[in-house]
Amino acid sequence: MKPVITIVGRANVGKSTLFNRVTKSRDALVVDIPGVTRDRQYGEGAIGDIPFIVIDTGGFEPVAKTGIIGEMAKQTYQAIIESDVLLFIVDAKGMNEHDREIALYLRKLNKKIYLVINKSEGKNYEQSILDFVELGFYEMFSISASHGQGVKQMIEQVLVPFASQNEEESEKDEAEAGVGQGGRLKIALVGRPNVGKSTLINYIIGEERLIAFDMPGTTRDTIHIDFERNNKLYTFIDTAGIRKKGKIFETVEKFSVVKTLQAISDAHVVVLLLDVSQDISDQDAHIADFIIESGRALTIAVNKWDKIDHYQKEQAKLAIERKFHFLNFAKFNYISAYKGFGVNQVLESADSAFAAAVMPLSTPKLTRVLHQAVEQQAPKRSGFSRPKPRYAHQGGKNPPIIIIHGNGLDGITDSYTRFLERKFREVFDLVGTPVKIQYKNGKNPYLQARFKKG
């Protein structure tokens, strides 16, 4: 599992700036649940060799119990429970009473905590830490999140204890690389509480393996279930919630976003389960976006399809297409997990999505498709010249990575990249998997020689 780093601290100390720095400004997943404020953000860390999940929290006031500040505090409490490491951020300009209150609360926790003195540009380490020694933390970093000073070194040091765990998981991934040759296909089932995840798994495996009550949050932990179907081996990863720990968490959501993100990262294929009787929320779309960013093969199951009439079905399809327009590469399955209608299609879609994700793409055919696309529609001019894509080859699998070489490729627009992606999808039938396109500009050897000679 990816380690989880939570950033905590009072308001305006640079928490979000640090979050954006370590996620390289990737759009964060925002928890959007009725009655809970949108002050906790999730992203994948992009610094160092060990992947990790990072959580940004709102301004923290441990003593707050009511109002918006109290809700923000509950969000932070939740993030703290889900984390492996806490980065306690303070402002190098000076300490105040809020910092002391937070330090008092954090020191009582059984968590690995680092004090991070932000906005330390222009100061040496000794100058930065002098005012904060009294907070009682012995592992401290002096950084500037806005300038990037010390951030990479800090994250690398924080992740050192997880290095051996990462090596073990890498070895495990290599051992499981041959899924098509007798290995297990790991399928993560994700979705909001009470959409029917446990019911769907029970029907597919043919036994009451999971408790399926009509009550949100019945499942409390991520569960791995091995089963065999049509002489193929599978593992279902059922994502669910954390156990409540004390009265303070009774009003916090009954599922853990962190466990969902970790399950997505641990899977070969993700099944996003929606409930047609509920409104499709931004939460569903955010999770779908995270699946794409993680590069996982994907299929979507719309559950409880038997509970609505023909008109409602037409309206539901329109709403789903509007919300998930960016998932036009994935297959949508309209099912009833309780009655078994369409359930077999979900597993078939997962198989085909993974097959597309690991499909070998030949260089001659990729290049041929590229040339055909350029002939049909050339890239727009960038400045005085036009980008010139020359040839393409496969740079990776699951997801398929297509590397395009040429000249002036920095000028290719996002819309043209999407155009190329559609062309590659059509020719190779890449249904159910994200496709990533990367560009590499060619170098002029004569220009280099001239500079060396001069």
Contact between 432 and 329 (Cβ < 8 Å): yes
CATH number at residue 432: 3.30.300.20
What is the tens place of the pLDDT at every residue in 38-76? 456 777 887 777 888 888 887 776 655 545 455 556 667
Q: Using the predicted structure, report yes or no on whether residue 135 has a pLDDT greater than 50.
A: yes
Instruction: Among 357, 373, 394, give the residue marking a domain's end.
Output: 357
| Residue 352 and residue 368 in one domain | no
pLDDT at 66: 47
Instruction: State the Cα–Cα distance between residues 256 and 260, nearest whole angstrom.
Output: 7
pLDDT at 141: 93
Assigned domain for 87 exists: yes
pLDDT at 221: 53
* Cβ atoms within 10 Å, residue 230: 9
| Residue 157 and residue 16 in one domain | yes
Instruction: State the Cα–Cα distance between residues 122 and 261, nearest whole angstrom.
Output: 38
Give the range of the structural domain holding residue 37, as residue numbers without chain letter: 4-165
Q: Residue 429: pLDDT band by 50, 70, 90 thresholds?
A: very high
Instruction: State the Cα–Cα distance between residues 141 and 117, nearest whole angstrom.
Output: 6
What is the tens place of the pLDDT at every residue in 286-326? 788 888 888 899 999 999 999 999 999 999 898 888 888 88
Classify the phi-psi angles of 150: left when phi > 0, otherwise alpha if psi is within -120 to 50, otherwise beta.
Answer: left
DSSP 131: G
Domain total for the chain? 3
Instruction: State the Cα–Cα distance between residues 406 and 340, nearest whole angstrom.
Output: 51
- In the predicted model, what is the mean pLDDT of the chain? 80
Assigned domain for 170 exists: no
Instruction: Among 307, 339, 357, give the residue marking a domain's end.
Output: 357
Helices (H), 176-266: 197-205, 257-266
Query: At a CB cut-off of 8 Å and minimum separation 6, what does 237 contact?
Result: 186, 187, 188, 189, 222, 223, 224, 225, 263, 266, 267
Lowest mean pLDDT among 81-90, 126-135, 373-382, 399-408: 126-135
Assigned domain for 454 exists: no
* Cβ atoms within 10 Å, residue 437: 18
| Residue 24 and residue 147 in one domain | yes
Map residue 105 onto helix, strand or coil.
helix
Instruction: Among 141, 165, 189, give the residue marking a domain's end.
Output: 165
- 56 or 217, which is more confident? 56
pTM beyond 0.75: the answer is no
Assigned domain for 171 exists: no
What is the tens place of the pLDDT at every residue in 345-363? 999 999 999 999 999 999 9
